[in-house]
Amino acid sequence: MRVPVPIRGPFSLPLRLFGIKISRMNPNLCTICESMFTRVKKSKQVPIQATVLFADVRGYTTLSEDAVAADIAEMLHGFYDDCAEAIWERDGIVNKFIGDAVLAIFNFPITQSDHARQAVLAAMDIQKRCSQKMKLQNPDGSGKNLSLGIGIGIHSGEASIGEVGTAYKDFTIIGSVVNTASRLQSAANAKEVLVTNDVYQQVSDLFPDCESRAYALKGLEKPVTAYSLS
Amino acid sequence: MRVPVPIRGPFSLPLRLFGIKISRMNPNLCTICESMFTRVKKSKQVPIQATVLFADVRGYTTLSEDAVAADIAEMLHGFYDDCAEAIWERDGIVNKFIGDAVLAIFNFPITQSDHARQAVLAAMDIQKRCSQKMKLQNPDGSGKNLSLGIGIGIHSGEASIGEVGTAYKDFTIIGSVVNTASRLQSAANAKEVLVTNDVYQQVSDLFPDCESRAYALKGLEKPVTAYSLS
């Protein structure tokens, strides 16, 4: 749906009565896509071509055992903001944050012919923004800062997007593309961006010297060929 | 805050202008706790005693490689609804669903002196509801149904709850209690509920014959003593 909807200012007031406001997933969108999905699309789920990006903070579990909760919250604030800005600048949506991880989608609802490329650019931007800021005071009391790295996984392909649940409705994306991206992210080291062959073909001009490697990923039967971008 | 807020009917209309409506996390609550947290609590994060429950579908990644997206969506619909109802009946909140996993919190914003016990009862209820319904057509074409199990992890303790992020605001819970519950869930087998000693002490009368075991969990330095309830 490409209809201009007033989401800011006095004209947005009557729309708010119907629950239409700025989407949390991208401030340039309204909530029609997420909260009225079934009505707009006439189906609970629709198939789309999309790129899925997962990013998370390496060593977060170990850290959260020792570090001060306020320090962790401060670090997460920075991480959420950096991720959201990098993703929004490339017209992607932040589907959700869970703890120290983010799930972003490119090519829905704003369609982009180069969605895989945009996702990679967002990933490089997240790495760049976070490399300076992701620091926590070392809980060993030495006064030194611990530097935290981000691991990112990206995959492109066909997925199913829409609403899940009736009692609790959630806007989310389903399919093996999501699971592969999530597992690649788990395999990525700190400061690494791992992408599948489908994604690499769209950005090979930017990273001409990357070599592929086969990764055995948890839950996936066949090894996945992935490229580490840097 | 314990103020009766009209979230249904005509009196709820003016409140909607300010973004106050039924919370997605629990239909008996309004969104004041989640969207106006900083204003109500005068702080981005507050420390609370809480019980955290993680549940997810075993073998979901393997399945989503082969199974039809529509079948997976149908299975997830049932899972989301069963989880939400079991959690809401015990006054917990569904903080979020991510793919095949759910994160629930007990003792906030509705306080409960027996929050660990309520979480365990919700977990047993989720297992009971899902044991009948979680079936997928076997993608091998044999026509037989695959039965899917749920793995659940529960831990109680001090955590920090509130808003994270400024560009993208999210209501979430932070602390090692969350990570331990999440890792316990990963260690749980299908149809298993794993709880820490802190939780077990609150429900030992219901499960008198459980034996403890030490689990080495990813990212956690020390092994965690846990009980498998059944």
pLDDT in tens, A8-27: 788 877 777 777 888 888 88
Q: How many domains does chain A have?
A: 2
Range of the domain at A16: 1-35
> pLDDT at residue A127 above 80?
yes
Chain-centroid distance of CA A220 in Å reads 21
For residues A128 and A225, state if they share a domain: yes
pLDDT band at A34 (very low <50, low <70, confident <90, very high): confident
**For a pLDDT cut of 90, what percent of chain B falls above it?**
51
Quick one: pLDDT at residue A39? 81
Q: Which residues of A touch B219 (CB under 8 A)?
A: 59-62
What integer is the mean pLDDT of B165-174?
88
Whether A53 and A16 map to the same domain: the answer is no
pTM: 0.89
Based on the fold, state whether residues A56 and A167 are members of the same structural domain. Answer: yes
Q: Which two tokens stand for residue B28?
A: 């008996």
Judgement on whether residues A12 and A103 belong to the same structural domain of the protein: no
pLDDT reading at A1 higher than 60: no
Best of B98, B100, B130, B161 to disrupt the A interface (most A CBs within 10 Å) is: B98
Residues A3, A20: one domain? Answer: yes
- In 3D space, the residue among B42, B126, B136 whose CA is nearest the CA of residue B88 turns out to be B126
Nearest CA in chain A to B26: A168
A66/chain B closest Cα distance in angstroms: 8
**B140 and B123 co-located in one domain:** yes
**Interval B97-136: pLDDT, tens:** 888 899 999 999 999 999 999 999 999 999 999 887 776 6
Q: Are residues A18 and A101 in the same domain?
A: no
Domain of A89, CATH number, reads 3.30.70.1230
Identify the pLDDT of residue B49. Answer: 97
Which range, of A98-102, B3-7, B146-150, averages the lowest pLDDT?
Answer: B3-7
Q: What is the mean pLDDT of residues A63-78?
A: 82
Q: Are residues B109 and B130 in the same domain?
A: yes
| CB of B184 closer than 8 Å to CB of B198 | no
Please report, rounded to a whole number, the percentage of residues in chain A having pLDDT higher than 90.
51
Tell me the per-residue pLDDT of B17-60, one tens digit each, with 9 for 90 and over: 777 888 888 888 888 877 778 888 888 889 999 999 999 998 88
Cβ partners under 8 Å of residue B41, min gap 6: B162
Q: Is A123 found in the same domain as A79?
A: yes
In B, minimum Cα distance to A85 occurs at B167
What is the pLDDT averaged over residues B77-103?
A: 93
Q: How many CB pairs under 8 A join A and B?
A: 167
Contacts of A174 in chain B (CB under 8 A): 64, 69, 72-73, 76, 99
Strands A101-106 and A192-196: unpaired
Are residues A61 and A19 part of one domain? no
Do residues B41 and B26 lie in contact, with contact meaning Cβ atoms separated by under 8 Å? no
CB contacts of A167 in chain B (<8 Å) are 27, 80-81, 84-85, 88
Instruction: Please indicate, yes or no, whether residues B117 and B140 belong to a single structural domain of this protein.
Output: yes
Q: Which residue of chain B is at minimal alpha-carbon distance from A84?
A: B168
- Cα–Cα distance, B203 to B31 (Å, whole number): 32
Quote the tokens at residue A66: 């020792």
* Residue-wise pLDDT tens digits, A150-186: 999 999 999 999 988 888 888 889 988 999 999 999 9
CA–CA min distance B75, chain A (Å) = 10
Whether residues B10 and B80 share a domain: the answer is no
* pLDDT given at position A10: 81
Q: How far is CA A32 from CA A12, A15, A40, A65, in A?
A: 13, 10, 8, 40
Provide the percentage of residues in chain A whose pLDDT is more than 70: 93
Mean pLDDT of chain A: 88
Q: Which amino acid is at A47?
A: P
Q: Taking 60 as the threshold, does the pLDDT of residue A109 lie above it?
A: yes
CA distance, residue A162 to nearest chain B CA (Å): 9
Residue B139's pLDDT is what? 62
Distance from CA of A108 to the nearest CA of B (A): 17
For residue A38, the model assigns a pLDDT of 82
Q: Are B94 and B102 in contact (CB under 8 A)?
A: yes
Which band of pLDDT confidence, cut at 50, 70 and 90, is reported for residue A197?
very high
Token reading at A99: 């703890």
pLDDT, position B136: 66
Summarize the confidence of residues B59-81 as an average pLDDT: 83
